[in-house]
Structure formats: structure tokens, C-alpha cells
Amino acid sequence: METLNCLTEECITLLHKNKLLDPLIKSSLINSTLSQVNLSPEKKATLINYFLEKNQVDSEKIDEWLKENNLEKDDMENLALGDERLEIYCKEQFNNKLDSYFLERKDQLDIVVYSLLRVKDFFQANEYYLRIIESEADFGELASKYSEGLEKKSRGIVGPVPLGQTHPRLAELLINSPQGETQPPIEIGGSYIVVRVESYDPAKLDDYMRKNLRKELFYRWIDTQTSQFISKLLKEGVSFLNKEDKV
């Protein structure tokens, strides 16, 4: 990647020690990969004009705007064309992997809404559980009064949220809980929680999901390429960058 030619051995070491090498390599890899995606002159002009309008940049003052934002013209074009190039690249490279990847990720992508009550004391949690199942108290009222997490502000309601964003033990409980049935308290992360599934929507491989999963696959690939690149760079140093230029 030509953008890295300015790096010296000392610079590489310093960036790595300060955890700045990874984002630098990742950004350079993304830019160099997407720059290979060809767009028609008409498409480029349309996207650049849209970008300028969105950022309220007068076409006659582009140079001034670039200077104010410490950008070169190529940087501005990369920003304007990046999303379109990413979409095209992802479709070309990852469409054939979507079905298997969706099946691999499906449980984490299902959308759930649940009620949550969280306290530090098991006996308190069990008392609230019994009061709820015996209809002596409303779940939302107890959560808003006694719950010790952010769910306190929403009467215990959490979501809609993908299962993959919840604690693994909680996700397992939610998957196996009948909708509307309050579950006995379990310990997670030092707290005892009482939960009830309010709604559960299995993920579907629609256009929106396809777009998101293609991007996931792209960034997973970028992460792998970045790790491999950095490993070689730290081992071989500047000589590795010179070899890259010759390939």
C-alpha cells in the first residue's frame, strides 16, 4: 500500500506501542481495496454532488472546504464514493457466502423484547419473581421501583435487541423461554435477574439483512488481512512494504 511508504522502522514501532498501527493499516486496506471498484463518470459525479450538498459545500468553494478540513481531493472522493464502492464490492465478493453465514449467525440475529428486573440479592429477586407469577405485583412497576440497571427507566422493558447483543447465559434463557412466562431468578454478572420474553422475532434473510451481513463479512475479512499484514510488518519491517509495492 503506497500510503504506508512514509513509515520508518521507528514510526512502525511507535504506532504499534500506542495501539495506532491497527487502525492505520485497517483504514489503508479499506481504501486500497475499495479504490479498485470502478464507477462510471456519471455515477461518480452524482455521488460527489450529493456529498457536497449533504455537507453544504458550495461547488465554487471546494478548495477552501478541503483546506479547512485538512483533506486532499482524493480524500473527499473516497468519502463521497465509499458507501457505493463498499456495496458493490461486498455484493461481488460475499453474496455466495450469505446463506451459510446467515445460518451460522441466525440465533444471534433473532430480535427479542423482554422485561428485566435486576438486583444483587437472591432472596429479593425470588420475592419479586413470586409476587409477579402470583399476580400480586406488576413486573413493570417492580422493575421501575427496584431494578438496579438502566431498565429501571423503561419499566423493565429491554429491546427490540438482537440476541447476539445480550449476555450468552441470558440469550440462552430467552431462546428457551415461552413468550409471556416469567422465569425464576438466575445469577449473571454478580446480579440476580428475573426475565420475561415479551416478543421474539426470528431473523429473516431479506434485503436489509443481506446488506448488513455482507458488510459483516467484509469487515471480518479486513480484520484478518490487517492482522496478517501487521504480523509481517512487525517481523520484516520496512522491507515488507517495499516488497508489497513490487507485487
Indicate if 94 and 19 belong to the same structural domain: yes
pLDDT band at residue 232 using 50, 70 and 90 as cut-offs = confident
* Residue 106 located in a structural domain: no
Residue 95 falls within a domain, yes or no? yes
Q: What are the two backbone dihedrals, phi and then psi, of residue 158, each rounded to the nearest 5 degrees?
A: -125, 130
Looking at the fold, whether 92 and 212 belong to one and the same domain comes out as: yes
Percent of the chain with pLDDT over 90: 71
Around 29, how many Cα atoms within 13 Å sit in the side-chain half-sphere?
Answer: 19
Q: Do residues 8 and 128 share a domain?
A: no
Considering the domain architecture, whether residues 157 and 75 belong to the same structural domain is answered as no
139 and 96 in one domain?
no
Give the list of residues 6+ apart from residue 100 with CB closer than 8 angstroms, or none.
none
Q: Is the pLDDT of residue 236 over 90?
A: no
Check residue 245 and give its pLDDT.
55
Judge whether 136 lies within some domain: yes
pLDDT, tens only, 152-181? 999 999 999 999 899 999 999 999 999 999
Say if residue 238 is in the same domain as residue 186.
Answer: no
Predicted pLDDT at 44: 93
Q: Do residue 151 and residue 85 come from a single domain?
A: no
- pLDDT at residue 247 is higher than 60: no
pLDDT at site 8: 80
| Phi-psi category of residue 30: left, alpha or beta, with phi > 0 → left and psi -120 to 50 → alpha | alpha
Instruction: Verify that 174 and 242 share a domain, yes or no.
Output: no
Q: Residues 77-117: pLDDT tens digits?
A: 889 999 999 999 999 999 999 999 999 998 889 999 999 99
Closest of 35, 32, 4 to residue 233, by C-alpha: 4
Q: Directed axis angle between helix 238-246 and helix 207-236, to 10°? A: 120
Q: What whole-number distance in Å separates Cα of residue 111 and Cα of residue 203?
A: 7
CB 74 within 8 A of CB 62: no
**For residue 233, what pLDDT is reported?**
84
Residues 96 and 21 in one domain: yes
What angle is formed at CA 102 by the lines to CA 97 and CA 103, rounded to 5 degrees?
A: 110
| Confidence at residue 246, expressed as pLDDT on a 0 to 100 scale | 47
231 located within any domain: yes
Which residues constitute the domain of residue 118? 111-201
Residues 187 and 223 in one domain: no
User: Whole-angstrom Cα distance, residue 133 to residue 126?
Assistant: 11
CATH number, domain with residue 142: 3.10.50.40
Mean pLDDT rounded to a whole number for the chain: 91
In a domain, 228, yes or no: yes
pTM of the model: 0.76
Q: In this structure, is residue 128 part of a structural domain?
A: yes
pLDDT, residue 4, reads 73
Q: Can you state the percent helix, strand and coil of the chain, rounding each to 5?
A: 65, 10, 20
Residue 167 shares a structural domain with residue 241: no
User: What is the predicted pLDDT for the residue at 82?
Assistant: 94
Q: Which residues pair with 41 in a beta bridge?
A: none
Distant-in-sequence, close-in-space partners of 128: CB < 8 Å, separation ≥ 6: 117, 119, 137, 142, 146, 194
> 59 or 89, which is more confident?
89
Number of compact structural domains in the chain: 2
78 and 143 co-located in one domain? no
What is the pLDDT confidence band of residue 3, given thresholds at 50, 70 and 90? low
